[in-house]
Amino acid sequence: TEGGTGDYTLSLDKTLAPGESASVDLSLLDQSTSSSDHSALVQAIQTAIAGRSDLSFDGTTLTFTAPADYSVALDPSGSGFVDISAFGTALSLSDDSSRRQDIGFEFEFFGVSYTELYIGSNGFVTFGGGSSDYTNEDFSAGSTLDGLPAIAAYWDDLNPAASGAGRVYAATTGSGPDRQLIVQWNAIVEFLGTDPVTFQLVLNESDDSIEIRYQDVNATHADNGESATIAIHDGNARYLQYSYNAASIQNGQRLVFTAPSGRMEDLSFTLAAIDDILPEGEETFRVALGSPSNSGLTGARFVDTAIEDNDGPTASVTLAPVSQSEAGTITFTATLDHEVPGGFTVNVSSLAGTAQSGIDFEALSETLTFAGNAGEMVTFSVTLIDDSIIESDETFTVVLSGASSGLVDISGTAVGTILDNDARIAPTGPNTGVTTDIELVANGTGGFDLVIEDVETESAFGFGS
C-alpha cells in the first residue's frame, strides 16, 4: 500500500574461497509506476550494504568478495561476561605455565581444525603445544608467540600462583552446533602486582568466531591493556593485532574476531512506496537479477511488486437542478468545493428523460474548464425548443464525465425541468351558439363547419379564428 514498504532478500548459495568474488546485476523496471512512486533502488542497496566490507555496488552490479582474513570489532555496549567459576574446571596453573584442554568440538583457526588447545597462565591460548612466554611481544614487528598459532586475549606477565590470586577456569557449554569453550582468567594479578584482572576467552562452534570479554582490566602496573598484547596469530606470517601496550580496552567491553567466511550473509533491502495524493489504480514495478558472474541464477530471477492505491477523490463538482419555461435557455451551475492544484477540465452532456433531445431541447456536449479554486463556479446552458404543444412539464438530466484530474469526484448529476408555456382552453360561460342536428347516412359522408371567434381575446387561443 502507498506509504508502506516492500522488503527484498538476496541470497548467494555458494561458498567462495578467501578473496574470491561473485557478482550479479540488479535493476528496477517501472511497469505502470514511475520514479515518483517508489524509493530509488540504488540508494536502497547502498543503505543496506553500509558497513559491510564484503559487498560493493556500483549502481548496476552487486559484488560479494569473500573476506581474505579475520576482522575484529569492539563492542562497547557490554562484555556479555558469564561467570563460570562456580561450575568450570579449575586449572592448576603455576606462574609461566600452560595446560592442555579439550575444546569439546572442532574449531577452525586460520584454516586449520583443532579439537584441543593449551591454556597459558599469561593470558593466552596456543594450538599444537604450550608456551611459558611471559614477555608480551609486538606481532606487527614480526614476532610470534614461540612460533605457535595463538590467541592473545590479554598477554601480560600474569601469575595465578601468587598469594591471594584467583584461578583459571575452563568450561564447554551449550549443545552442537552452538557450543562454546569459555576460558576465564579470574582475578589474576600481574607478577609482583596486587590489583587483579578478570577476563574471558570464548571460542564459538557455530561460526569459529572468537570473543574476548573484559570484566575488570584495572591492573596494578598498567590499566586497560597498557602492558598487554591483544591479537591472534597463525604462528607464521598471518596475524591480526588489536593493540600492543596500549590502553585500548575498558571494563565491560568485548572484542569479537570474526573468521573469514566464503558464504555471503543474506542481503536485505527495503523499497518504500511513496504516499502521494493521486487517486490511481494499482501500479507495479519489477526488481530483476541478471548477468551473474562466478555464480548462477536459481529460483525467481525477478519479483514484481504491486503498489495499492490508498487515495480517493479530494474534491467534487456538484450540479444544482434548474426549472425553466420552454421558451429560451436553461442555465446550470457546476461548483467545485475544494482546491485542485493546476486546475482541470470535465465534460458535460445531456440525457433525455421525459423531455426528448431535438424535440424539447437541443443536445448538449461540451467541456468545462476549472482553474481549480475552491468555491469556483462554472455555468453552461441548454437551449430549449419552444413548441406549441399543450403538455405536462418535462425533464432531462445533465451528467459530468472525463475529468482530467483524478482528484475530482464527478459523480453528481442535475435534472433540468422544462415548464410548458402552452395555454389550455376552458369554457367560461353557457353555450350561446347555434345548435345543428346532423344526420349521418350509412356508408355516406357528411360534414359541418365549426367557427371559434372571440374578437376581444383572439390571442388567447393562439389559433386565429
**Same domain as 126, residue 82:** yes
Compute the distance between CA of residue 261 and CA of residue 271 in angstroms, rounded to an integer: 28
Q: Which of 241, 258, 275 is the C-terminal boundary of a domain?
A: 258
Residue 430 lies in a domain: no
| Phi then psi dihedrals of residue 294, to 5 deg | 60, 30
> Residue 80 in 3-state DSSP?
coil
Compute the distance between CA of residue 349 and CA of residue 247 in angstroms, rounded to an integer: 85
pLDDT at 465: 40
Per the structure, how many domains does the chain have? Answer: 3
**Same domain as 398, residue 331:** yes
**Same domain as 218, residue 244:** yes
pLDDT at 453: 55
Residues composing the chain: 465
> Residue 436 in 3-state DSSP?
coil
pLDDT at 429: 54
- What DSSP assignment string belongs to 269-302? EEEEBP--S-----EEEEEEEEEEESS---S-SE
Compute the distance between CA of residue 354 and CA of residue 350 in angstroms, rounded to an integer: 13
Strands (E), 14-66: 21-30, 55-57, 61-65
Longest dimension (CA), the chain: 157
| CATH code of residue 272 | 2.60.40
51: left (phi over 0), alpha (psi -120 to 50) or beta: left
Compute the distance between CA of residue 391 and CA of residue 409 in angstroms, rounded to an integer: 36
In the numeric block, the cell 509506476 is attached to: 33
In the numeric block, the cell 591483544 is attached to: 230
In the beta sheet, which residues pair with residue 316?
409
Residue 424 lies in a domain: no
Residue 455 lies in a domain: no
**Same domain as 277, residue 202:** no
Closest listed residue to residue 165, CA positions, set 84, 227, 90: 90
Residue 426 lies in a domain: no
Tell how far CA 140 is from the center of its chain: 45
The Cα-based distances of 133 to 130, 136, 446 in angstroms read 9, 8, 150
Q: Which of 222, 241, 258 is the C-terminal boundary of a domain?
A: 258
C-beta neighbour count of 9 within 10 angstroms: 8
Residue 446 lies in a domain: no
**Same domain as 104, residue 202:** yes
Residue 147 lies in a domain: yes
C-beta neighbour count of 84 within 10 angstroms: 17
**Same domain as 273, residue 132:** no
**Same domain as 385, residue 344:** yes
Residue 444 lies in a domain: no
Tell how far CA 336 is from the center of its chain: 36
**Same domain as 331, residue 272:** no
**Same domain as 343, residue 399:** yes
Residue 27 lies in a domain: yes
Q: Evaluate the omega torsion of the peptide bond into residue 177 and state whether it is cis, within 30 degrees of 0.
A: yes
pLDDT at 164: 75
In the beta sheet, which residues pair with residue 223?
218
> Which residues of the chain are modeled with pLDDT < 50?
458, 464-465
Three cell numbers written together for 91: 586449572
Please write the tens of the pLDDT for every residue from 41-90: 899 999 999 989 899 999 999 999 998 899 999 999 888 999 999 999 99
User: Cβ distance 7 to 268 under 8 Å?
Assistant: yes
**Same domain as 197, residue 168:** yes
**Same domain as 297, residue 192:** no
List the domain range (segments joined by +) for residue 279. 5-68+263-307
**Same domain as 61, residue 36:** yes
Instruction: Mention every residue, 6+ apart, whose C-beta is less than 8 A from residue 157.
Output: 122, 134, 135, 136, 190, 191, 227
Q: Which of 419, 440, 458 is the C-terminal boundary of a domain?
A: 419
pLDDT at 456: 53
